[in-house]
Amino acid sequence: MTRPPDALQRLRRVHEDLVLGTLRATGPLSRADIVERTGLSRTTLFAIIADLVRRGAVTEAEARPSGARGRPPTLVALAPEAGQLIGLDLARRRVHLAVANVAHQVVATGTADVSERADAAERAETAVRLIRRVIGERGIGLGSLEAIGLGLHGVVDEPARPAGEGANPAAERLAAEFGVRVAVDNNARLAALAESTWGAAKAVSDLVYVRWSTGIGGGYVVGGRLVRGAHGGAGELGHVSLDPGGPICHCGGRGCLEERAGGQALLEACAARGVAVAGLDELVEAARDRVPEVCALITAAATRIGRVLAGTVVQLDPRRVVLGGELGALGSLVLDPVRAEISRLALPNAAHSLDVVSADLGGNASAMGAIALLLQEDPDIPDHLRPAPSPA
């Protein structure tokens, strides 16, 4: 039976949305890769891409030579001028910024220091000033800005709640300043998403990420999707209790991992031992210089983190564990004790096939993850990327 014209048009719209959504989530792909990811036939896909190229929604360019024989494949990507996205991380000590287009090209980055005692309003003003400064220095106009992704520390519930409906004050301020939707999530979870999109776990669909900094946070990607949990608390590894009778944590629990292994706890332990380190950056430098007392404290803390991760590995069965944050970037000093504790405590099959690696994206990971959040989960595909309206 022949489908009526309106049914064919709706089907084509579904297929085009599928192609655009795939490119939005993954970045440039060859036509063969798009066929594999979408399940569309080559004939259907080629016709859709030809129309999208004609309308300026996507571009085609030859991939860079890889050294392999033969001509590099032609890659299809969203048109860079199709829209802009801003990612922000309002971390404890710094605000990180990334500006990207929908073709997954990061066109500008920046950072600004902020006091750990600053409230949400102060952090929002710092973010606004940082955006204005960076776009001014780079000569970037925001006429095609579509949305802002915002990473915050702590539990973030209902990340998709629009500004104006009880959203975080920082999100309210940014929405008012720039006139776009602001999507909010936990910054450690966003770093996990960034590492799975562009970084150390790019080819991995199941991973556990740990952000080891002043505090300890984390994020889980399962089946390629970020896990938030029923109340926005998924990935809060720092608040797993190691000692139910231990000291009270700021979260209200007792004996939390963060109180025994977080950067602030390590600074306090150094002070108690007479080791002079003024802050987290100096602590990391002392570890790189292999100061014995500092290395011993960090190794013990990494072992505690590995103990918690062993339970997580048993429950989630990830392919990779990624350590990020300033302390997570210390290489074998932290990776080896984490691997050893997972190997000792996790199921043998899971531990033997598990990679434990350092993160790739550094301090800007959460800001980039905020962009990945918009690229992968924002339901609002811009009008100029929509199929052209059919004639009446």
CATH of domain 5-78: 1.10.10.10
Q: In what order do the strands lie in the sheet with 29-30?
A: 29-30, 74-78, 58-62
| Furthest C-alpha separation in the chain | 83
Per-residue confidence (pLDDT) for residue 161, from 0 to 100? 52
Pair 329, 358: CB distance under 8 Å: yes
Token pair of 10 as six digits: 């709706």
CA distance to 91, 213, 251, 257, 335, per residue, from 238 (Å):
16, 11, 10, 5, 17
C-alpha count within 13 angstroms, C-beta hemisphere, residue 267: 17
What is the C-alpha end-to-end distance of the chain, expressed in Å?
24
Q: What is the pLDDT of residue 202?
A: 87
Do the domains 202-359 and 83-189+368-377 match in fold? yes
Question: Tens digit of pLDDT per residue, the chain (392 long)?
Answer: 455 556 777 788 788 878 888 887 778 899 999 999 999 999 999 999 998 888 777 888 877 665 556 677 889 887 766 678 999 999 888 999 999 877 677 889 999 999 888 888 899 999 999 999 999 998 888 878 889 999 998 878 755 555 555 568 899 999 999 999 999 999 999 999 999 988 999 878 999 999 999 999 999 999 988 999 988 889 999 999 999 988 899 888 999 999 999 999 999 999 999 998 999 999 999 999 999 999 999 999 999 999 999 999 999 999 999 999 999 999 999 999 999 999 999 888 777 789 999 999 998 999 999 999 988 765 454 443 333 333 32
Residue 386 burial (CB count, 10 A): 14
Class at the top of the CATH hierarchy for domain 202-359: alpha beta
Dihedral over Cα of 44, 50, 54, 59: its sign: positive
> Residue 23: what pLDDT?
84
Residues 239-285: tens digit of each pLDDT = 999 999 888 998 889 999 999 999 999 999 999 999 989 999 999 99
Supply the pLDDT for residue 201.
Answer: 93
Domain residue limits, the chain? 5-78, 83-189+368-377, 202-359
pLDDT of residue 227: 92
* DSSP code of residue 330: S
- Which one of 3.30.390.10, 3.30.420.40, 3.40.605.10, 3.40.1190.20 gives the CATH number of domain 83-189+368-377? 3.30.420.40
Contact of 266 with 213, CB cutoff 8 Å:
no
